[in-house]
A and B are shown apart, each in its own frame.
Chain A
Amino acid sequence: MQGSLRYISAVPINGLATQLRKGVIEYCVLSLFKEGPLYGGEVIQVLRGKGQLLISEGTIYPLLSRLRSDGLVETEWRDTSTGAPRRYYRLTRSGKKAVAEFRDEWFRFRDSVDDILRNGGKPR
């Protein structure tokens, strides 16, 4: 009992969502570009419709900038009919590879966690 209580205090439950989000948000953003290029505002709009993935919307811009430095996305300015040009982001070849790898990894990870949460220690 003592042991399990200690683990709960190590990862406070209200910080848990933040911890989980940290590991996956970059790949979620990358996956959004699978259907084609998007600009920052669109990324924010889509994530807004996907629940609690993005709390401070402004953090998407440094994140996109980092994905670009890492060579996972590339950018292109496009004119708009109404206002200033927008910077569009799209996947590079290594970006596509990263998305595919994360997908496989995530499904395996999710299955293991689901299994343990549903069945406890019983073998599958």
Chain B
Amino acid sequence: MTAVHATKLVDEYLRRLEMELIDLPAEKRLEILDEIRGHIAEERTGMSNESDADVMNLLDRLGDPTEIAAEAGAGGERRGRPSGTARFGTLEVLALVLMVLAWPAGVVLLWVSKAWTTREKLLGTLIPPGGYPGVFLVMSTFHWFVSMSESMSEAAASWVETAVRAVLFTVSLLLVVAPIGMCIYLATRLKAASRLEA
């Protein structure tokens, strides 16, 4: 007896479960996935002469991923996104593009669209606050701050200045990437959700 497809079956099962749990907070999702992955691994260690059928029976006993997700409340939280709305329409594409190019307009469209949950919309609005105009404002403050510190650099030790510059550089870099990153995040969430509804 050999279990040729066992690992593939298990991977497929866990992948489906992960998809079903996608609406849960990350911590909860990982906890449940880890426990079930551990359960499967332990049961398989206990099988002498494991066959594909053994693994299939094991997964059958665990039950359908949708049932596990329902118990986890993932179905309930999916109500945050009215069913049948998780798809990319013109509105959604426009919202994402404008979030990067013309911040206030993009956010308005983000909230008008029904494709994202309230939590995702909040994240999209707040990270980074103000989009690129906000980033620009923060950066000009930084610039002012740096020129201030330059004017007193005679007194300050040079390593302090270097450290301040390094921190400011890192923060600026994060700020510049943030709006695009958020755009990608929202796109991936929506894509995953639409795949789930399909």
Q: Which stretch from A55-63, A91-99, A103-111 is at the chain B interface?
A: A55-63
A119 within 8 A of B: no
Residue-wise, chain A 60-74 has the 8 Å CB interface mask toward B (1 for contact) of 011111100100000
Tell me which residues across on chain B come within 8 A of A59, comparing CB atoms: 63, 67-68, 71
A62 to B69, CA, bound (A): 8
A66 to B73, CA, bound (A): 9
Residue of B nearest to A58 (CB): B62
- B195–chain A nearest beta-carbon distance, Å: 22
- Complex contact B39–A41 (CB within 8 A): yes
- A39–chain B nearest beta-carbon distance, Å: 9
Q: Which stretch from A2-10, A30-38, A80-88 is at the chain B interface?
A: A80-88
A66 to B68, CA, bound (A): 12
A40 to B68, CA, bound (A): 14
B36 within 8 A of A: yes
- Interface residues on chain A, size class: 20 to 34
- A58-B67 in contact given A65-B31, A65-B72 (Cβ < 8 Å): yes
- Complex contact B32–A56 (CB within 8 A): no
- Complex contact B28–A61 (CB within 8 A): no
- Interface residues on chain B, size class: 20 to 34
Tell me which residues across on chain B come within 8 A of A40, comparing CB atoms: 35, 38-39
A77 to B39, CA, bound (A): 14
A8 to B68, CA, bound (A): 28
B45 within 8 A of A: yes
Tell me which residues across on chain B come within 8 A of A86, comparing CB atoms: 38
B56 within 8 A of A: no
B77 within 8 A of A: no
Return the contact of A84 from the options B28, B41, B68 (Cβ within 8 A).
B41
B154 within 8 A of A: no
- Complex contact B71–A57 (CB within 8 A): no
Residues of A whose CB lies within 8 Å of any CB of B are: 40-41, 44, 55-59, 61-66, 69, 82-84, 86-87
21 A–B contact pairs at CB < 8 A? Answer: A40-B38, A56-B63, A56-B67, A56-B68, A57-B63, A58-B63, A58-B65, A58-B67, A59-B63, A59-B67, A61-B31, A61-B39, A61-B68, A62-B71, A62-B73, A65-B28, A65-B35, A84-B38, A84-B42, A86-B38, A87-B35
Residues of B whose CB lies within 8 Å of any CB of A are: 17, 28, 31-32, 35-36, 38-39, 41-43, 45, 61-65, 67-69, 71-73
Given contacts A62-B71, A86-B38, 8 further A-B contacts (CB under 8 A): A40-B35, A56-B62, A56-B68, A57-B63, A61-B32, A62-B73, A65-B32, A82-B45
Q: Which 9 A-B pairs have the closest CB atoms?
A: A56-B63, A62-B72, A58-B62, A59-B71, A62-B71, A61-B35, A58-B68, A56-B67, A58-B63
